[in-house]
Structure 1
Amino acid sequence: MGYSDTFLGNTAIHPPVIAQNELDKFKTNGLEASQYMLDYSNYSVFQNPFRKFPYFTIANIDGELFKHVTRKELFSGKGDKWSKDSRIPKEHQLGRELYTAERSDFDKGHLTKREDVQWGAEDDEAISAAESTFFFTNAVPQVDRLNRGIWRRIEDYILHHEVVKNSLKISLFTGPILQENDPDFVTPVKDEVIKLPYMFWKVIYYLKNGELHRTGFLTSQKRKLEERRIVRPVMRGDDEEDLFMNFKDAETYQVRVDFIEKIANLKFAEANELFQDDTPEELIFSNVDVRNEAIQDITQIDLKLIL
């Protein structure tokens, strides 16, 4: 079973709504958008067939039913088995041809984290759910400093220190920010130029004192993509707004969900927010890029999530 919008109770938390111009692309190309909402175990993916990456993933996480399963226990001990999803055309998703291409100095970054959906009444349910995260539809290229760094530490903090420790339920949405002016990967894939996203977001829904709350996070890999020459420099006109021009040394920051809505061109379900920072956008952007220094300990981060 995929994502359930009533997982947290009677108040339905619907998937994010993408912009109308994106929905129009499906009709223009003779496609049905509903066929690209793919259900997996405890989560779902809305695949973007035009960029060949997900618009977003949406997951239900049950801390009380979480099962401790190591990565080595998956796929009968034979290791990771990434594959394309046969329910949609192979040409609408990127697989090994991208991640083994020349200059592909990045990871297959899970959007829905393996452990997040690793729950169920029985161990085999949790194992099956964990294995279902190894579809390329659930992956976007992420440099190691992001995928294995502070972004992962925030994911681990939310899952283990909040959800599992306190036997909570949450619904977690994750996605890349896909923009027309994203940079080109330096290596064509099957003679096609692939644009790689700079930024990623998370929106978490949870109950606090019986009321629905949400909070958002934003991070970037712009600096590392450019430093490693994985992407070609983006050339913009003098009058074109550059959302990334003020990026400095930073990692991952908590932001208001309406800020994510604006830059990702999505609409999320309404809920209360404890985080009310009104920092100007340019200062938020200057504090979301992956930095070179040693990663700070997660306990130093002031998360206004469920604390």
Structure 2
Amino acid sequence: MNELMTDHTAAVAARNLAGRAGYDPGFLGVPVPIPALPAVKTVLLPYTHFSVMMRPDKRLAAVTALAMDGKKLMDLDRSGIAWRLDPRLPEDQQTGERVYARNDLDRGHLVRRASAVWGDTRAEAAQANEDTFYYTNAAPQAAKFNQGMELWLGLESYLQENAADNSRRIVVFTGPIFGDTDPVYRGVDIPLRFFKVAAFLHHGELAATGYVVDQTPQLTDLPEIRRPSAIDDAPPLGPFRTFQVPIRDIAALTALDLDQLTAVDRMPIAAALPSARVASTWRELHSAEDLDLDFDLGE
């Protein structure tokens, strides 16, 4: 696919995105703003029901923010929708098809397509469906689908159905966790881990939970991986492992301002061990029933 845009086609495409409202911080009835990333240049791009805060230096999102209304979800087909660059951002500040061509890397949706496809009308849901296919909403992930990835994708739906109040509204922040050992491939850092923070109302009170998915490969030559110049082939990525983690750990790993959601973290150990070192209290999940929450989902 040819990614290059003429000035005219870029202008037309940008006009087509005009008027997108993006993520609504008041969606839950209490203000939940997009987490800030102090001291790092970012660009906020609004879409339908979600926004992407891009890091031009990484050519990937720092965080995506999704408002999901479970009462208005629609089941729309994804066939025929092509991935495309966002014309509102220079091409050299986003990761396009070149990184995903001729390898086993997948364009991993950060905002889950099925979670964004809702609305009062089919046209609204269809627009959200198409908006999830901008490269700004993608990050390189292992193409092989497995049980760990299935769990990761289903967490927000599980929480919405079992923890959120009857409005069935949930807010989801998702993004890469950039690390010093991330391999560099075709000029782009390949994040080995991603985070998800879900926020919702439980019995009228703001609640949140945090998760990390790890696709770290089992590499024997880690020092070589750390040298970007040595990476010519796509890095081998291992099975997805999903963890429930304290939100404060995500804040420490990403430098995102998550103070509001850290304060309402419903993972019991987050409150019991507030000074535990990062990653020491992570809980590996094998199914959604493994979630450790300080309330009864059957309430």
TM range (shorter): 0.7 to 0.9
Partner of 2:16: none
Partner of 1:301: 290
1:66/1:118 contact within 8 Å kept: yes
Letter aligned with residue 265 of structure 1: A
Partner of 1:99: 100
1:47 Cα deviation after fit:
0.9
Change (3 A) 1:39 1:263: same
Partner Cα separation in structure 2 for residue 66 and residue 107 of structure 1: 25
Alignment pair present for 1:50 and 2:50 = no
Instruction: Select the residue among 232, 237, 251 that pairs with 2:241.
Output: 251
Partner of 1:158: 156
Alignment pair present for 1:116 and 2:115 = yes
Give the percent of matched residue pairs that are identical in Structure 1 and Structure 2.
27
Which TM-score applies when normalising by structure 1? 0.74
Partner of 2:230: none
Partner of 1:205: 199
Change (3 A) 1:266 1:174: same
Partner Cα separation in structure 1 for residue 107 and residue 281 of structure 2: 26
1:162/1:168 contact within 8 Å kept: no
Change (3 A) 1:259 1:38: same
Letter aligned with residue 152 of structure 2: I
Which TM-score applies when normalising by structure 2? 0.76
Letter aligned with residue 202 of structure 1: K
Partner of 1:220: 214
Partner of 1:59: 66
Alignment pair present for 1:7 and 2:27 = yes
Letter aligned with residue 204 of structure 1: A
Superposed CA offset, 1:105-158 (max 9, x none): 21100000101111000112111101100000000001134x654233233243
Calculate the aligned-residue CA RMSD, in Å. Answer: 2.8
Mapping for residues 234-249 of structure 1, pairs under 5 Å = 234=226
1:62/1:164 contact within 8 Å kept: no
Partner Cα separation in structure 2 for residue 184 and residue 68 of structure 1: 36
Letter aligned with residue 152 of structure 1: E
- Range 123-132 or range 172-181, more displaced: 172-181
Change (3 A) 1:205 1:118: same
Q: How many corresponding residue pairs?
A: 255
Letter aligned with residue 83 of structure 2: W
Partner of 2:183: 183
| Structure with bigger RCO (C-alpha 8 Å, 6+ apart) | 1
Change (3 A) 1:282 1:122: closer
Which runs of 5 or more residues in structure 2 are unaligned?
Answer: 1-20, 228-237
Alignment pair present for 1:69 and 2:73 = no
Letter aligned with residue 177 of structure 1: I
1:184 Cα deviation after fit:
2.0
Partner of 1:268: 258
SS at match of 1:267: coil
Partner of 1:233: 225
SS at match of 2:260: coil
1:215/1:273 contact within 8 Å kept: yes
